[in-house]
Amino acid sequence: MTIKLHCFGESGNAYKAALALELSGLDWEPVKVDFFGGETRTPEYRADVNEMGEAPVMIDGDLKLSQSGVIQDYVSEKSGKFGGKDKAERRDVLRWVLWDNHKLSSTAGLTRFLMNFLPADKRPAEVIAFNQGRLKAAYGVLNDHLESREWIVGDAITNADLSCCGYLYYPEPFGFDRANWPHIDAWLTRLSETPGWKAPYDLMPGSPADRA
């Protein structure tokens, strides 16, 4: 049975789940969520897809999961990939997924939204600047960690990598310049050279160009 992922191209959190599915080799297909058309705010979406009003949502037969980290964990359980090779690595993968959700992706996603998907006169400059300061600290942590290693945990791609990269391949500006973070840059290049890798707008339906 084909796994369905409710997602949209602009979402870095959806990209984390979609990339895990794509690289795992599992049979899956995207289902477009019209986020910018208000779909996730409708009573129907909350009743039928996700009571939290968020994407991504994965459906595999009778099983429905939301939150990218949970979906990634399920992909690992089903495919045997990306979860770490032993208990110690699995805990470290979870540590980095939680760090990313709290320190990196949440702030990157909000900053990117404020800078690119709001009208120019509605963009809060002080909030953006504050968020970019927080992001700079997070980039520093990740860049230093990657100085002497190819992957975030262990010697192969794990959900730690697939989580932390979630917003870093997007073309819209939000204060991240790969050239300023050479170890992150090298890591992103390695990941993008993995067979089967696709950029967000190539992997999921929906992009800013659709609304241009």
Residues of the chain with pLDDT > 70, as a percent, come to 100
Cα Rg of the chain, angstroms: 17
Within its chain, how far is the Cα of 144 from the centroid? 21
- Give the predicted TM-score (pTM) of the model: 0.97
CB 88 within 8 A of CB 95: no
pLDDT of the residue at 211: 84
Distance between CA atoms of residues 158 and 94, nearest Å: 10
pLDDT of the residue at 90: 98
Beta bridge partners of 58: 5, 65
Per-residue pLDDT, averaged over 67-77, amounts to 98
Tell me the average pLDDT of the chain: 97
Domains in the chain, CATH or no CATH each: 3-82+198-211 (3.40.30.10), 87-192 (1.20.1050.10)
Per-residue pLDDT, averaged over 137-154, amounts to 98
Residue 212 has pLDDT above 80, yes or no: no
Residue 188 has pLDDT above 80, yes or no: yes
